[in-house]
Amino acid sequence: MTDTERVAQDDAAQVAAVRVELGDRSYSIMIGNGLLDAADSYRGLPAASHCAIVTNEMVGPLYVDRLAAALTGLYREVHLIVLPDGEAHKNFATLQRIFDALLSAHCDRSTTVFALGGGVIGDLAGFAAASYMRGVPFVQVPTTLLAQVDSSVGGKTGLNHPLGKNMIGAFYQPQRVLIDLGVLRTLPDRELQAGIAEVIKTALVADADFFAWLEIHLDALLARDAAALRHAIGRCCEIKAAIVGQDERESDLRAVLNLGHTFGHAIEAGLGYGEWLHGEAVGCGMVMAAHLSSAMGLLDVDAVGRIERVVARAGLPVRGPALGSDAYMALMRRDKKAQGGEIRFVLLESIGGATLRAAPDELVAAVLATCTSGVRS
Ligand code: NAD
Ligand code: GLY
């Protein structure tokens, strides 16, 4: 039995630890209830006189007092940086606000940055930490399911450019990831569903048994059953930690974690950031990738049906918006996995087995015709 499975059967006070092994940049992902308030959560972090909490106007009022109270005994000064909420603000102007606040507060090279929020805050605060004075320590305190199962782990940080999603950024690992399961209680249903998209993705690329578990326990996850959430979050962190430990900078293996993202990023950029949630775009993108895998003769149609059913049951879209095939293709050519203008997709050879391949344009166009809700004239 793994640590995570043990916790899933234990009482709410248990804390699981998943390790990301990266030599002298290794760190722990702590998973439990009430971690925000627990002294153990902060033990062993680098010593500093200042820390800064980066959060947003939605999450701040809910949780910043608890985090600030825990940090007050550890740092002489606790600075608060509250940003506007939403994907549309994951940009240079918002990044500049973080730098302005850090400099105005005389934060130095030892200042520890705490990212309290979802993936937008984690990505922005992480990139600010990576570049402020050429790098200061940071801690991820993810408050969405998506951030707890994916974005807070692995050190991808960055922001969007009008010409492409997550195009500016850095690999920069946190000192620790603190996953307090209790914060999920206030997460809106639509955001929970978006997080489940990344859970489905993780199972699809790495663990057929976990996907089968999801087929059985999806309703429990949607109902926020505590044991189901613990298990899903723990398993996703274990899988991601193992992949990042082998291929931190995505030279090869890590790319499988982008299943659904080539189509998904095109949807997000094509509609305008924030129109669809990232997880919604990934959910739909996975269905498109499954159809493309089948069209390429890699995946059987039964598997495509299972994937589409789970994505739909999670309340996620299974058909993309009508951006038009040309727009999709142009946006996908800007994907970070593209090489020399050739789009490379994460495709499935089985449930639990992914591969990175180029695909003929005519097959991609056929999938777009099948999986979008009509081509705009
Ligand atoms: P988000 O950060 O926008 O959060 C979603 C919404 O939920 C926001 O309105 C937020 O204020 C609110 N919220 C957060 N926690 C809450 C809580 N506990 N209670 C109530 N409301 C809460 O979106 P997200 O889905 O967390 O993250 C999406 C972003 O993550 C995208 O920009 C995506 O590109 C990025 N991402 C990054 C990685 C990575 O490896 N770095 C991986 C996946 C996604
Ligand atoms: N979310 C994909 C990755 O971290 O690699």
- The residue that leads in pLDDT, 340 or 284, is 284
Residue 314 DSSP label: T
- The rounded distance, in Å, linking the Cα atoms of 171 and 131 is 11
Tell me, using a 6 A CB cutoff, whether residue 284 lines ligand 2: no
Write down the pLDDT at residue 11. 57
pLDDT at 273 over 90: no
Is position 250 annotated as part of the catalytic site?
Answer: yes
Which residues make beta-bridge pairs with 164? 161
What backbone torsions phi and psi does residue 325 show, to the nearest 5 degrees?
-60, -40
Q: Is 261 known to be catalytic?
A: yes
Cα–Cα distance measured from residue 340 to residue 192, given in angstroms and rounded to the nearest whole number: 37
Ligand 1 centre from 223 Cα, in Å?
A: 19
274: left (phi > 0), else alpha (psi -120 to 50), else beta? Answer: left
In tens, the pLDDT along 290-341 reads: 999 999 999 999 999 999 999 999 999 999 999 999 999 999 998 888 888 7
Is the predicted pLDDT of residue 376 greater than 50, yes or no? no
User: Ligand 2: does its nearest atom lie under 6 Å from the Cβ of 257?
Assistant: yes
Q: Does residue 252 carry a pLDDT above 90?
A: no
The arithmetic mean of pLDDT across residues 261-289, rounded, is: 95
Nearest alpha carbon, ligand 1 atom 4: 118
At 137 the three-state DSSP class reads coil
Which residue's alpha carbon is at the smallest distance from atom 3 of ligand 2? 257
Q: Which residues contact 296 (CB under 8 A, 6 or more apart)?
A: 347, 357, 359, 363
Give distance in angstroms: CA of 251 to centre of ligand 2. Answer: 12
Out of 36, 53, 59, mutate this one to test ligand 1's pocket (max ligand atoms within 8 Å of CB): namely 59
Query: What is this structure's pTM?
Result: 0.95
Structure tokens at 113: 């940055």
146 CB-contact burial (10 Å; exposed 0-12 / middle 13-18 / buried 19+): buried
User: How high does pLDDT run on average in the chain?
Assistant: 94
Q: Tell me the sheet residues that pair with 17.
A: 30
* pLDDT for 197: 98
